[in-house]
Structure 1
Amino acid sequence: MNTLMNMFFFALITFTAFAAALPVYLRDVFVPPITSPDAGTIWVVGQTHNVTWDINGAPSQITNTNGTIVLVTNGRLDLENPLADNFSILDGFHPVTVPDVPDSADYALVLFGDSGNISPNFTIIHTAPSL
């Protein structure tokens, strides 16, 4: 049994030393804060708006620059119906068309790419407010 344990530990130490010698390509996680929509935003169903986020301080090596924007309703992410996908999170904005959803002030957006970032809650309505 001792010989088996010694062989196991020798193999483990050899593997660890080998793995430590491999080059490591570090990438940074980038979590750009969403700047629009904000808490005072009102979107009207069918209109197109830019979702914007702050790209200042983006690291040079990002894990995933491919972005996706999804609607959040009452804390639930609609992953099956993204509002936009396949764009670079380094763009800092992307247009979306407001989906046909019930009027509510409980909507938010999540920007996925390198990491998810959620907007403040905002409002979606069916009819533009009168001025």
Structure 2
Amino acid sequence: MPDGREIKSADVIGPAKKGRTVVILGDTRKTPNAGELATGADVLVHESTYGKGEGKQARNHYHSTSIQAAEVAENAGVGRLLLTHISARYAGKSANELAYQARTIFENTRVVNDFDVFEVPFGEQSNSKPVKLTPVDEDEQ
């Protein structure tokens, strides 16, 4: 300071908080790099255009299945898997079938819709437990 005083960061800021990691893998087919990118993430948002048994079609169109997304989540040790980029063939409640398929491999899975908003809270959460995602009330925005 101009008067000679020193201000130390420890005197004016709070303790460090562990950050959160959100990995978004959209419009991609199964690749070994996906697991590397997602390792230890709190949240993995992964496309799931196709369902179980449609792996060949998914590969041919450069997309993923719900099972492939779940395998990435499981192998990468993520906290939560959010499935997105759902094909129109899974309209409405049938989109939840993709989540059911994925949960056979990675339990903490949910299908999300366009414009869904989630809060990934700070705190003493670790990847050994599911990350709590709370939908944000649109009226609060």
TM-score (norm 1): 0.27
Greater relative contact order: 1 or 2 (C-alpha under 8 angstroms, separation 6 or more)?
1
Q: Please give the TM-score of this superposition, normalised by the length of structure 2.
A: 0.26
Question: Which protein has the larger Cα radius of gyration, Structure 1 or Structure 2?
Answer: 1
Higher share in strand: 1
More helix by share: 2
